[in-house]
A and B are shown apart, each in its own frame.
Chain A
């Protein structure tokens, strides 16, 4: 089954404690992205990757890191989480180079930083 898998689904952590949210896709997609969803703001892109070892900042990259060492995996790293990073996070993947390419989303990770 074609899917994007994120883990964990729910996470409560304390300020400053490093965490990683994993994302894996099995569709051989070139493009992968991380989005955060906040009320009234919709989804905003944090980071994206167009292929292995090619990553770049999205609209709201501050406080986040990513890596793309393998095509299927795109982890999101919060080195020192703060309460303003409490949000719902989505990983998404798609084929690249076309406007009509559907983005497949993971199930979401609800992160609370206290």
Chain B
């Protein structure tokens, strides 16, 4: 079964607007962590934000916030005030306690910011 599902292959967003990237996950573990990474066209993987399964508050890092709905097993990334430099591929990933040596990734969402 797919551990991480990202259903939006590609999205367009207008500069300065907010965009939400969907991520749902599947685990039977009680302890897990959710990560979002950005991959610009240059190819490197850039860590954006982390949410722990026991965290009661949604994580925020600057213009990035994570809408964590544990009962629905979703961890959507919200990028506020989009900039041209936000154009990239975005990956949702999960690390589970029982196999903490591994990150399980979704297929990714390509975001294109329009001027």
Give me the interface of A with B, judged by CB distance under 8 Å: 31, 33, 35, 40-45, 48, 50, 56, 58, 88, 90, 92, 96-105, 107-108, 110
Contact partners of A43 in chain B: CB under 8 A: 91, 93, 103, 105
On whether the beta carbons of B43 and A41 are closer than 8 Å, the reply is no
Q: Are B103 and A103 in contact (CB under 8 A)?
A: yes
Asked if B47 is at the interface of the complex by the 8 Å CB criterion, the answer is yes
CA distance A88 to B103 in the complex (A): 17
CB atoms of B52 and A99 under 8 A apart: yes
* B35 close to chain A: CB less than 8 A: yes
Q: Tell me the count of chain B residues lying within 8 A, CB to CB, of chain A.
A: 28
Task: For residue B11, give the distance in angstroms from its CB to the closest CB of chain A.
Answer: 16
Interchain nearest-CB distance for A65 vs B (Å): 18
Contact A102 B44 (CB under 8 A): no
Contact A99 B96 (CB under 8 A): yes
- Say whether A99 contacts B95, CB under 8 Å: yes
Query: B84 contacts the other chain (Cβ, under 8 Å)?
Result: no
A-B contact pairs, 24 of them (CB 8 A): A33-B103, A42-B91, A44-B105, A45-B103, A48-B101, A48-B102, A50-B101, A88-B43, A90-B45, A92-B45, A92-B103, A98-B100, A99-B31, A99-B53, A99-B96, A99-B97, A100-B33, A100-B95, A101-B100, A102-B50, A105-B37, A105-B44, A108-B45, A110-B43
Interface majority SS (helix, strand, loop, mixed), chain A: strand
Cβ contact within 8 Å between A101 and B101: no
Contacts of B96 in A (CB 8 A): 99
A108 x B43 contact (CB < 8 A):
yes
In the assembled complex, the Cα of A105 lies from the Cα of B45 at a distance in Å of 6
Q: For the complex, is B77 an interface residue (Cβ under 8 Å from A)?
A: no
**Chain A residues with Cβ under 8 A from B53's Cβ?**
99
Within the complex, the shortest CB–CB distance from A82 to chain B, in Å, comes to 23
Residues of A contacting B64 in the complex (Cβ-Cβ under 8 angstroms): none
Chain B, 45-88, contact with A by CB distance < 8 Å: what is the 0/1 string? 10100101100000000000000000000000000000000000
Contact for B4 among A40, A42, A100, CB less than 8 A:
A42
A-B residue pairs, 3 tightest by C-beta: A42-B105, A105-B45, A99-B33
CB proximity of A98 to chain B, nearest CB, Å: 7
